[in-house]
Structure 1
């Protein structure tokens, strides 16, 4: 499916996505695997195909021997000779066996079928199966070959799902024809290569029509022809396309539709579980529906909301309390909360802490997880804002909680990066090695955010939006700031020599400048420790995690 990231103005631009938290499970087959996204595949559509779709009327094939000429039988002269519609060149399908295409948006919601035979008896599911099969044929998903000897044959199966809109209302019926993993006896190299083959085929085609593959992000393709610009972002078989003008966008969609069966979903409003709302030029990203599903899965629909996702007490030990009775449920909820951080950076630190104990969850860890869910329950309305900004400077903040882990005494470092007024990247992570001083822990954090900033600068350069000024890095540790500019190597810092030389090289080139920020204004503390309510709400607002825009409809 293809989405447009288009403004109502003639000129539109691409907002760089935030960092890549763990997304939903990756699909192992380009066109024949079940998808867990809300817009799962490149589907055939009456408006997207160059030729009319095949009629859903069953086609019966007959052996040629059944058409041998037979002796004519005497006909009564008073009876007219029967004439079929096809003899007069009429091939219009019989309405009794043809489904109207409006079933794609039918309000009637058919129950999930128990098997393919039951699905074929339902007009809605039959049309969904026709769409899936036509898409597989148009996209040349398979090649018919003689059956090899001494090989295991993977059988096929149908998967039926209901697709919903961002508000939870029913959208359409979706059928997928996939390989049955139960018939797989051993690891299959071909199945593992299917996503690569699909990506290569897509990349080869878009390169023919003028796109180049980004070196910073393999899923990003960039088009430039004079003043015409377009960006295409690919996730499995879901596409976001934005262009500098409407004519270019339509031309590119037509080119893609000529090669792939796809469905044009119009302006971007829902992508991979993320709702996108436009308001006076800015974007509001929300995962409210996904968050509600997490709360329901945890059985906490009627829970009492919490004002913060984590308390201000020291971090919980890995051996505190008794083992939790249902580790599988703990891991499932923790993984779901990880994806929620895509638009909710305010819970990044709390989620990072509970994910440290997924291998051996305890009752205390589950209590911490439930507190996050209680906080999400009370802040379902919040989301991430992206505002139009004339400022193109990169500004980053970094901090570290030295020796905060009660079990390993390793430090937790965090950072956030702003492009102009917009938060575009953030992280909360326990450092892989032990730091012998707070300056060492802080400097590792500086090195991490400088590395991320360099990647962002390279990406913006590929997008033809280069950053002209040095990246500003704010840190509240004076010693770390001193090390970034002092060319003298001290004996006590040799064990972090690589990080020091890396940052110093960027400073010497004029790409980075490290400055001091008072601890009161160090907003990245929200990624390294639990904060009091007032400070937490202040820093959360600074991250642009706010209420949705106020609608003025009907006013």
Structure 2
């Protein structure tokens, strides 16, 4: 606690002042629940046991937002954004947490996630200069080359950058006591068709939701399980034994759409994936908002969802100076043997 208060004093976060008239200071326990705007004056009582010997009756006036307040992330982002823009960075047109700096033909990219920062560039000198600049401006720890971030293991080499979640996978298998389970060839059986199953035996809801949450995070690097996980996630309100068995198979173990695949509301599921060159970069599996009367309609909805993601990618890549040419998006239906004037080909061009 002493170190924390000294840190606040060193960074000019708090000022010890006389309590203002007609203004009731909040207790330290309430600082973390304060809902006022960051622009308002906030006064806090001194923590019990850590009162100033000279001024025990004074209160703290906040000059900066504390990390416990709900305004803290926004205040930190505003502070960092202001610094980066003054340093010559340009904010991304789509992603406001991404900043780019071009200098002498080289590019530096900075990505912000709450209070973590990832940065890299085409020039080692530019990267080192930015690291030194940040260290002078903020109290920060430089972790070196990116190898682990938010549960993702990153390996960088001449052949490319690879992302995996091997450690996280082992951890959740151990957590749910499935480390010694036999592997399966597919995350879901082709004969599995989950429905309401109101007569099925109920299972522990907390455990089921924990399994769902763990697997949803795993889909960040495992697109092959996304459809199965999202399908099971629809039944978190009243999990049954059949759903839990389907979940266990996922633990053991391309753009398209299924037509009326959900037996409860007869809605279809859109599955999309986007590649940059030969690398799969984004993917999704999502239930459609409306009921499709024909397979063609379900395919159009899936293709439209895919195009929305592609437009976002196109705008983001333009910030890097990459201008994409006209691309065709062919629905997976043309891979089959179905031939008709309605379903033979869906070609959507992005200009």
TM-score interval for Structure 1 and Structure 2 normalised by the shorter chain: 0.7 to 0.9
Q: Deviations over 1:153-174 (max 9, x none)?
A: 2339xxxxxxxxxxxxxxxxxx
TM-score normalized with structure 1 length: 0.52
Question: For residue 474 of structure 1, what is the aligned residue in structure 2?
Answer: 330
Asked whether 1:215 is paired with 2:93, we answer: yes
Q: 2:268 matched to which residue of 1?
A: 411
In structure 2, the gaps of 5 or more residues are 39-68, 335-341
Q: CA RMSD in A?
A: 2.4
Q: Structure 1: 5+ residue runs without aligned partners?
A: 1-115, 117-128, 157-178, 376-396, 485-502, 512-555
Looking at structure 2, the residues matched to 257 and 420 of structure 1 have their Cα atoms a distance apart, in angstroms, of 36
CA deviation vs aligned residue, 1:90-134 (integer Å, no higher than 9, x gap): xxxxxxxxxxxxxxxxxxxxxxxxxx8xxxxxxxxxxxx95x777
| TM-score computed with the length of structure 2 as normaliser | 0.81
Deviation for aligned residue 1:480: 5.1
Aligned residues: 311
Q: For residues 369 and 135 of structure 1, do their structure 2 counterparts lie closer, same or farther at Cα, with a shift above 3 Å needed?
A: farther
1:143 aligns with 2:14: yes
Of 374, 390, 393, the residue aligned with 2:252 is 374
Deviation at 1:304, TM superposition (A): 2.5
Kept in 2: contact 1:443–1:480 (CA 8 A): no
Q: Take 2:9 and 2:322, find their aligned partners in 1: how far apart are those partners?
A: 40
Whole-Å separation in 2 of the counterparts to 1:483 and 1:244? 39
Q: CA deviation at 1:284?
A: 2.1
CA deviations on 1:307-335 (whole Å, 9 max, x unpaired) are 22110014200235535332111112211
Between stretches 309-318 and 187-196, larger displacement belongs to: 187-196
The answer (yes or no) to whether the contact 1:414–1:445 under 8 Å persists in 2 is yes
In the alignment, is the contact (CA less than 8 A) between 2:330 and 2:346 conserved in 1? Answer: no
Contact residue 331 and residue 346 of structure 2 kept, 8 A: no
The structure, 1 or 2, with the larger RCO (C-alpha pairs under 8 Å, 6+ apart) is 1
- Structure of greater Rg: 1
8 Å CA contact retained: 2:8, 2:14 = no
Distance, in Å, in 1 between the alignment partners of 2:144 and 2:219 is 26
Mapped pair 1:437 → 2:298: no
Residue 154 to residue 249, structure 1, CA distance change in 2 (3 Å): same
Quote the offset at 1:236 in angstroms: 1.0
Gap change, CA 1:374 and 1:314, over 3 Å in 2 = closer
Aligned partners of 1:430, 1:398: CA distance in 2, in Å?
A: 14
Q: Distance in 2 between matches of 1:228 and 1:431?
A: 43
Contact (CA 8 Å) 1:415, 1:426: kept in 2 or not?
A: yes
* 1:156-167 → structure 2 map (5 Å cutoff): none
What is the distance in 1 between the residues matched to 2:8 and 2:279? 40
Counterpart selection for 2:144 from 254, 259, 266: 266
CA distance in 2, matches of 1:205, 1:481: 54
